[in-house]
Each structure stands twice: as C-alpha cells, then as structure tokens.
C-alpha cells in the first residue's frame, strides 16, 4: 500500500495532496517528531541521462539548503531533503491556505488592504533573505502562499541566487513566469534585491488588479512589454497603486528600497471607509483529505488553531512548488457592514502599556477556573506555545492566549511594546480572515477529543469586552451540529487576545458554551485592564 511507505525510516506517506509537472506533493507524518509535514516528490522525466538526473538532484538539495538557512514566519520552512530511488524528496512545513494565484483565479481581485498586508509580510521575508545574501529571483503569484491565519509565505527558492556562489548552469536559461521577471534580468544585467522588489510589485499588482502589469498575446510579447513598455495604470488599487508603480520602475536605481516601501504598505493594511467589501463567489468545497486520528501538529497550538485540515483549505506550499494548486478557501470575505464592529478613533501610535509578556496563567483565580471546569484538577494552568495558558479536564477545556503577529520576526513577542493602532490592525486582520462556514478537522488528546469533523462560523460582533471584540463558533458535524467550542477575540490597549471554551460529548448545551467563552473573555479583559 503506497500510503504506508516510509522515507528514511521516519516519514510515512499518507496521501497525495496535489500533482503537477514537476512532481507530487504528499501529506506525510514524521513519526520521529510526531508532526504532519508536506513532502515534495520531485519528478525526473523519462529519458534523462545520468548527468541531468544528478543536476536535478543537486538543484533540489541546493533549494533545501538555501531555504533552511533563512528563518522567518513568512519564509517556507524546509525540514529535510532526501535522495531515495534516485530522486529528491523535500520535507517541508504543512500549511493550510492557498496561493495568491489561485485566490485571484477563484475569487477575483482582492481588496487593496489585504494585498498591502501580504506585501508587508513578504517584504519582511525578503529583508531577511537579502541580509543573508540570498536573492529569490522567482517571486510570482503562485509562489506567494496565503495561510488560513492571514500570514503570507514566500515559497520555492529553487532558482535563488546566493551571494558568493559560483554561477550555475541554470543562469543560462530564462526561468520564471514572463510577466513577473524583472526587466534587468531580461536584459541580461546582474539582478539583485531590486529585482525581487520589482517582481513583488508585479505580484501584488496581480493580486489587486486581477491581471499582471504587463501583458501580451504571447510569452515573447509579454517579455518585450516588460522591458519596453510602462505598466498598465492600476484601476482598483486606490492609494496602493502609486506604491506599486514606484516599485515597478524599469530602472532598478529608480525603485525605492525595501526599507522605504515597508511603511508605505503598512499604512494601507487597514480597510479605509468606503472601500467595497470583497465578496467571494459561491463555490462547492472539495472533500478534505484523510488525516489519521493520531496525527498531530506540535508547531500549531492544539488550543487556538486545532485545524489539521479543512474542506477546501488543505493546500500546502509544496503543492505550489509541484506546479499545481489545491482548491482552498483561505481568506474569508470582509464582514458586511452589519457584522463589522465600530472602528475606534484616535488610536495612539505610541507603545501601549503591555511592554513585557503577560503571565496569562496568573490572570484568573482558581475559583474562576473551577466555575468553568468543575472537574479540573490543575487549577494553576499550563503555558501554551503561543505564550498563553490552558486549563483542561475530561471533555472540557479553556485557554487564553495572545494572537500571534504573523509576518513579524518574533510572532507573539512582537505584540508587546507595539501601539494600540498596530494592535487594532492585528485585530482587523484576525477578524477579516475568520472563515465563515468552513469545515475543519480537529483533535485535542488532553481532553479526550479524537479526530472529528466540525464546521466553523464567521465572525459575530461582541460588545462590552475589551475595546473591540468578535466571536466565532465551531459545531460538531456528526451529531445534529452541536456546538463544541466558542471563541472570543478581543483587544485591550495594544494586546489582542483569544479566549476559548471547548466542551465535547454534550457536557454543556450551546447557551452554556457561548456564555462560558464570553465569561472567560470578560474575566481576562478585566484582569488585563487592571494591570498598570
């Protein structure tokens, strides 16, 4: 049985996630570390001579080495590279979401503030890569992955240029999507960080406009237009358009630097009044791939994000690398005006009062925890890997933890010392990427919750908790859609927090679960407000 095959004695192939011209992508389990991974099986075409096969294997190893030396939340993590049966296998982190290319193809152009947000994330990733002497050289919509949590991830370093390395034979071949190759590369000039900036601008342009900035009837005509013609004036981008046009300057010396572009994009990441909401067209979700009940993802909190897979969402960065796309529903539409919470005014740009990490396990009393979890034995709580705290008992659990800052170097830690304005932007990002009516599969061993299918709701406005808040809920698909979890996301000053109440097997009715989450969030917000 192919699904039982093991690589290197530790990676168990479960089922294929996608297949393209360059190979197959597998969902796999790393039995040694107990985590799910994505494995790209690189396909070597028939009839290749030994030297060409060796070249392709070396290229795969090189890609892994380049990616492995870079550490950033918006850069794909490569865990391992193997050579088995004479072909390479790349072991990578498993992400849920979809590529920007598929997002636009399935739903149409995205709102400017969402594209600006993705741009901020990728700029941060490029800053890390360029500082390490690595130029990506192949930024395009299919290599920008938008995760379920709103994080944009840069993938596929297969043709990256590393400073100080000898020129490779691959530089003799023009590689990349014609509309996204920087003009200096097409002219045969040395390409550096400015080329990545141009390709990123062309990619963001595609995301907000639905078409690349240069088009032609043939690939050759497109290449000619990139070199000789100005970009098509954007019509949907609003203020984002002027930033993209500056980044698309034909002369690399005329383009702004990454440092100059980042604050301009950051200012555009909040939806402006009057901006039309992005509405996704109806679609029929594809069945979710099978994931064994014992499969776990330690890198993702089993409390805050228990998503092992999702209907229409279990796409991986490796699927992009394989030249294929898996149908996904990664970014939800912006809430309608009726769903939206009021936007606070006059938010401070100065650092807020939470300058050091909060000890969440000390925010609640034992009496409060006992009220929500009567059978809990550990009333002091256990720290979570996101810097929060969880309390569990058979069939029930609560947790509170800060919402991580994806696209920032230190994730959760980068919340502390930021401003209320930045926290408000983070709150909006979390609300706008909460998927309405998405099917998920989750498990939580500590409370006896084996693998189960559930359906999540979209965001609902909440008042009276923190300075702004919303809630969403997860219902069991198996038995009359019983509510199993209620979660409240709220902001206090410069901190965005998620509080959740999970109850399985009918131990509480829907009203009690919803009220439990609201009570938990209210206690937490009150405790945070009392802090100096």
Residues 366 and 482 in one domain: yes
**Could you list the active site residues?**
138
Domain's final residue, options 65, 93, 121: 93
In the chain, how many domains are there?
A: 3
pLDDT of residue 173: 42
Is 73 among the domain residues?
Answer: yes
78 with 131, same domain? no
Q: Which two tokens stand for residue 176?
A: 């990349």
- The alpha carbons of the chain give a radius of gyration, in whole angstroms, of 23
Do 61 and 43 belong to one domain? yes
Q: Which residue has the higher pLDDT, 336 or 185?
A: 185
The answer as to whether 305 is a domain residue is no
- Residue 76 tokens, joined: 């794909």
Q: Which of 54-58, 138-142, 245-249 has the lowest mean pLDDT?
A: 54-58
Cβ–Cβ under 8 Å, residues 364 and 264: no
Q: Are residues 70 and 16 in the same domain?
A: yes
Place of tokens 């300075």: 467
Q: Which residue among 266, 291, 319 closes a domain?
A: 266
Listed in sequence order, the residues at least 6 apart from 423 whose beta carbon sits closer than 8 Å to its beta carbon are 352, 415, 491, 493, 494, 495, 496
The CA-based angle 426-432-437, given to 5 degrees, is: 140
Residues 241 and 114 in one domain: yes
132-168 as b/e: b if 16+ CB within 10 A:
eebbbbbbbbbbbbbbbbbbbbbbbbbbbbbeeeeee
For residue range 56-109, list pLDDT tens digits in order: 777 767 767 776 777 788 888 888 888 887 778 888 888 878 889 988 998 899
- 385 and 480 part of one domain: yes
- Given this model, what pLDDT does residue 121 score? 94
Average pLDDT over residues 135-140: 88
CATH number for position 456: 3.40.1000
pLDDT of 280 over the 60 cut: no
Report the CATH number that the domain containing residue 145 is assigned in CATH: 1.10.510.10
pTM: 0.52
* 138 and 60, same domain (yes or no): no
Query: What does the pLDDT read at residue 326?
Result: 32
Quickly count helices (H) and strands (E) in the chain.
12, 21
Quick: pLDDT tens for 3-13.
Answer: 458 898 899 99
pLDDT confidence of residue 329 = 30
Q: What percent of the chain has pLDDT over 90?
A: 34
Separation CA 28–CA 34 (nearest Å): 11
Give the position of tokens 């009276």: 464
pLDDT of residue 288: 31
Same domain, 359 and 483: yes
- Based on the fold, state whether residues 158 and 82 are members of the same structural domain: no
pLDDT at 413: 54
The verdict on whether residue 413 carries a ligand-binding annotation is: no
Report whether pLDDT(236) > 90. yes
Residues 152 and 50 in one domain: no
Same domain for 370 and 517 = yes
Same domain, residue pair 441 and 414: yes
Over residues 440-494, the pLDDT tens digits come to: 667 788 888 877 777 778 788 898 999 999 999 988 866 556 888 999 999 999 9
Ordered DSSP codes for 185-241: HHTT----HHHHHHHHHHHHHHHHHSS-SS--SSHHHHHHHHHHSPPPPPSS-TTHH
Domain that residue 16 falls in:
2-93
Q: In terms of pLDDT, which residue wins out, 243 or 450?
A: 243
| CATH code assigned at 58 | 3.30.200.20
Strands (E), 77-199: 78-84, 87-93, 97-99, 134-135, 144-147, 152-154, 161-162
């Amino acid at each position: 049985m192919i699904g039982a095959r093991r690589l290197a004695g530790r990676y168990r192939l479960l089922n294929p996630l996608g297949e393209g011209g360059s190979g197959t992508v597998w969902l796999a389990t790393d039995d040694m570390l107990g985590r799910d991974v994505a494995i790209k099986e690189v396909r070597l075409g028939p009839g290749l001579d030994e030297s060409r096969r060796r070249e392709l294997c070396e290229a795969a190893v090189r890609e892994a080495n380049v990616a492995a030396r870079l550490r950033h939340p918006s850069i794909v993590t490569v865990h391992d590279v193997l050579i088995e049966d004479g072909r390479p296998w790349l072991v990578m982190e498993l992400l849920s979401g979809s590529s920007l290319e598929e997002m636009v193809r399935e739903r149409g152009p995205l709102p400017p503030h969402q594209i600006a947000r993705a741009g901020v994330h990728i700029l941060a990733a490029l800053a890390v890569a360029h500082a390490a002497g690595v130029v990506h050289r192949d930024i395009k919509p299919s290599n920008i992955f938008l995760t379920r949590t709103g994080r944009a991830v840069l993938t596929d370093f297969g043709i990256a240029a590393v400073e100080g390395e000898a020129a490779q034979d691959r530089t003799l071949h023009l590689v990349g999507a014609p509309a996204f190759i920087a003009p200096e590369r097409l002219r045969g000039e040395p390409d550096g960080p400015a080329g990545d900036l141009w390709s990123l601008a062309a990619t963001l342009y595609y995301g907000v406009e639905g078409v690349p900035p240069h088009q032609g009837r043939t690939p050759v005509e497109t290449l000619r237009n990139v070199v000789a013609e100005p970009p098509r004036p954007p019509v949907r981008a609003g203020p984002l358009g002027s930033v993209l046009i500056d980044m698309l300057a034909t002369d690399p010396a005329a383009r702004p630097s990454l440092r100059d572009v980042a604050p301009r994009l950051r200012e555009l990441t909040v939806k402006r009044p009057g901006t039309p909401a992005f509405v996704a067209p109806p679609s029929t979700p594809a069945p979710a791939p099978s994931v064994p009940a014992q499969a776990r993802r330690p890198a993702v909190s089993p409390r805050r994000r228990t998503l092992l897979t999702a209907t229409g969402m279990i796409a991986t960065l490796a699927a992009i690398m394989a030249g294929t796309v898996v149908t996904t529903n990664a970014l939800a539409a912006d809430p309608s005006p009726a769903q939206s919470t009021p936007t606070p005014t006059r938010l401070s740009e100065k650092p807020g009062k939470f300058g050091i990490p909060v000890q969440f396990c000390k925010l609640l009393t034992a009496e409060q925890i006992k009220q929500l979890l009567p059978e809990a034995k550990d009333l002091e709580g256990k720290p979570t890997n996101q810097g929060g705290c969880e309390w569990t008992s058979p069939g029930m659990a609560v947790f509170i933890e800060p919402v991580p800052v994806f696209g920032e170097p230190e994730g959760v830690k980068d919340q502390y010392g930021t401003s209320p304005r930045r926290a408000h932007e983070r709150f909006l990002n979390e609300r706008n990427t909460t998927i309405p009516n998405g099917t998920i599969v989750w498990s939580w061993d500590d409370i006896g919750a084996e693998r189960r299918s559930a359906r999540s709701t979209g965001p609902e406005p909440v008042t009276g908790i923190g300075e702004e808040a919303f809630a969403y809920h997860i219902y069991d698909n198996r038995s009359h859609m019983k509510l199993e979890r209620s979660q409240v996301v709220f902001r206090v000053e410069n901190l965005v927090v998620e509080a959740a109440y999970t109850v399985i097997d009918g131990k509480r009715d829907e009203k009690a679960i919803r009220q439990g989450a609201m009570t938990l969030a209210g206690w937490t917000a009150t405790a945070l407000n009392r802090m100096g």
